[in-house]
Amino acid sequence: MQAGLAYPGYGTMSRTAGNPGIRPAGRPWRLALLALPAAFASVWIWLAVAGAGTTLARAQLIDLQGHVVGQVTFSQAGGHASRVRYSVRGLVEGFHGFHIHVNGVCDAAHRFDSVGDHYDHAHREQPFDGEMPPVLVGSNGTGSGSFLTDRFAVADVVGRAVVVHAFADNFANVPIGNAKDQYWPNGPKAVARTSATGNAGPPVACGVIRRIR
């Protein structure tokens, strides 16, 4: 007999030993099997109808070899807010800067230089509007996430590029040090790197944001 699993308040539960007293025989059980998928289907239909009027855009991410490595969707979430969902694969483990850049051109042959500056409606430097929470890639090379941002509406970013950078974004938090091999607070080297990419390094994945609804 397999050892049971003890949970507070639930007594002892076993993975193998069923309780014949709780399984109804015959038709009621079959009806339950039919009702469950129907309930799921109705929820999905309701979600589809509820979201039918919202602007939706999608970007397929490619890497520097042109291989598809993920997808990002942008859905209008009311007012000026957007819901961003992403999934990536085949990337290096760790945090990666995740940005909207102004040009919707992903030229892998030229290391995605084609994406141009960061998107910001007021042409600020950091924090710019297209600076999003970082992508966290696990040890198996995949990552996924979802967040809400009011920095842009979906229509603002359609036709632009979403970029995953090689390294983490420092969000303008420049390390303070005074040794020669460290950044100096507000020193030209620190400011230049932070302004360019949040010190996130070059793009490693890129996708053009296209409206699909």
- Kindly list the residues in this chain that would bind Cu ion in the complex (CB under 5 A): 99, 163
Q: Name which of 58 and 99 has its Cβ closer to Cu ion.
A: 99
Q: How far apart are CA 108 and CA 101, in angstroms?
A: 15
Q: How far apart are CA 58 and CA 71, in angstroms?
A: 7
Q: Name which of 159 and 184 has its Cβ closer to Cu ion.
A: 159
Q: Name which of 58 and 160 has its Cβ closer to Cu ion.
A: 160
- What does the longest C-alpha to C-alpha distance in the chain come to? 80
Q: Rounded to the nearest whole angstrom, what is the least distance from the CB of residue 170 to Cu ion in the complex? A: 12
The neighbour count for residue 53, using CB atoms within 10 Å, is: 8
Q: Name which of 45 and 113 has its Cβ closer to Cu ion.
A: 113
How much is the CA Rg of the chain, to the nearest whole Å? 24
Q: Rounded to the nearest whole angstrom, what is the least distance from the CB of residue 152 to Cu ion in the complex? A: 14
Which residue's Cβ lies closest to Cu ion?
99
DSSP string, 76-124: E-STT-EEEEEEE-S--SEEEEEEEES-----GGGTTGGG-SBP-TT--
Q: Rounded to the nearest whole angstrom, what is the least distance from the CB of residue 43 to Cu ion in the complex? A: 37
DSSP letter for 29, please. H
Q: Name which of 95 and 184 has its Cβ closer to Cu ion.
A: 95
Q: Rounded to the nearest whole angstrom, what is the least distance from the CB of residue 29 to Cu ion in the complex? A: 55
Q: Rounded to the nearest whole angstrom, what is the least distance from the CB of residue 156 to Cu ion in the complex? A: 16
- CB 164 within 8 Å of CB 84: no
